[in-house]
Structure 1
Amino acid sequence: MFTFSDICLRPAKAEERDHLWHFIYVENEWKVHDAPYFPLEHQSKFQFRRHLFKRLREAKTAIVIDYHGEAIGYLSCYWEDQSTRWLEVGITIFTSAHWGKQLGRKALTLWISHLFEHYDVERIGLTTWSGNPRMMKCAMALGMQEEGRIRKVRFHQGQYYDSLRYGVLRDEWQALRKKDGKLRCVG
């Protein structure tokens, strides 16, 4: 379990399975900003329990974001290319009631620090699209650099958007965190 201010990252609790499934596959307001150009592949509760929920319970490649005792979203990591140690992160905060409060920024600060401690990688990346300005702002506030912009490759609701790649190197991350000797958000 990791904490930063009012955010805690922790394994999912058994009794949260239906709550998490509901906010991912039924009441999925988050999908409006999280790659809406890709359809969400619905999973039954059984499939969810065997796949994502199992990862959330193990808390190694996915972990719950807890805000004042409530599971409000989750973080994940995945290999873009494990043979070259290219690790990416993702974040989902379920409802707009929790957006714009820097909760994602705090959660990502904890998660990225944890991943650098536990994985032998020199860089951690995050991919988003130009239709999600809050995620772009969050990445920059974390100290990530815009490393790539592929223009007009995401088509959504009759409009083209850019795909954006952000990344931070281990030494950059450590330097940002050493400024005041504790976990912090830079923005």
Structure 2
Amino acid sequence: MLNHENIVLRKAQSNEFELLYALITLDEKWTEYNGPYFPYSTPTKLEFESGLFKRLCEGDKTLAIEVDGKLVGNVSYYWECESTHWLEIGIVIYDSNYWSNGIGRNALIPWINCLFETLEIERVGLTTWSGNPRMMACAEKLGLKQEARLRKVRYHQGEYYDSVKYGVLRNEWLASK
């Protein structure tokens, strides 16, 4: 379990299945910002159980975000290339009532701290798209540097958007804390 201000990052509990499934599927406004150019369909309960819910319960690469006792989203990481220690992080706040009030930033602080403390990595990356200005602002407020902008490579609803890559090096992160 990781804490920062009123945020707790933790494994999901088996008795939270219905709660988390409802969180992810009842209001899918989050899908408009979380890589909407990739195909998405609402998962069945079985797909959710064997996929995201399983990862949330394991808590290795994905943790639930709890705010003042309420589950609102998750943080995660994945290897872009594990053999070279190239790691990327992700975050989703499913409940749109919790957007734009610093929860993403406050959840990513302990997550990035944990990754630097527990993994042999020198950099944490975060990739978003120009259609998600809140995520771009979050990355910049955290001190991540824009390292690349691939122009007009994300096509969504008749418009082209940029893929925007951010990163922070271990020494930069530690110096800022």
Fold equivalence (TM over 0.5): yes
| Aligned residue number for residue 45 of structure 2 | 45
The aligned counterpart of 1:13 is: 13
Give distance in 1, aligned partners of 2:105 and 2:57. Answer: 22
Deviation of residue 21 (structure 1)? 1.8
Verify: 1:99 aligned to 2:99, yes or no: yes
Tell me the distance in 2 between the aligned counterparts of 1:25 and 1:83.
35
**Residue 69 (str. 1) matches residue 72 (str. 2):** no
Question: What is the aligned partner in structure 2 of residue 35 from structure 1?
Answer: 35
Deviation at 1:15, TM superposition (A): 1.9
Rounded to whole Å, the distance in 2 between the matches of 1:157 and 1:36 is 9
User: 2 CA distance for matches of 1:152 and 1:50?
Assistant: 34
Q: How far did residue 18 of structure 1 move?
A: 1.6
Q: TM-score by structure 2 length?
A: 0.96
Please give the per-residue CA displacement for 1:68-92, whole angstroms capped at 9, x wherever unaligned: 1111000110000111110000000
Question: 1:122 is matched with which residue?
Answer: 122
Q: Distance in 2 between matches of 1:34 and 1:47?
A: 19
Over residues 106-139 of structure 1, what are the superposed CA-to-partner deviations in whole Å (9 max), with x where a residue is unaligned? Answer: 0011101111111100001000000001100000
**Equivalence for 1:59:** 59
Residues 19-28 or 6-15, more deviating: 19-28
Determine helix, strand or coil for the equivalent of 1:73.
Answer: strand
Which is further off, 70-79 or 17-26? 17-26
What's the % identity of the aligned pairs?
49
State the one-letter code of the partner of 1:33.
Y
Question: 1:39 is paired with a residue of what secondary structure?
Answer: coil
Between the aligned partners of 1:51 and 1:162, the Cα distance in structure 2 is 29
Aligned position for 2:132: 132
More deviation, 31-40/98-107: 31-40
The answer for the alignment partner of 1:161 in structure 2 is: 161
Q: TM-score, normalised by structure 1?
A: 0.91
The number of aligned residues is 177
Structure 1 gaps of 5+ residues are: 178-187
Structure 1 residue 29: deviation in Å?
A: 1.4
Aligned equivalents of 1:95, 1:24: Cα separation in 2: 8
Partner residue, 2:113: 113
User: Structure 2: which 5+ residue stretches go unaligned?
Assistant: none
For the residue of structure 2 that corresponds to 1:128, the secondary structure is strand
Q: Secondary structure at the match of 1:72?
A: strand
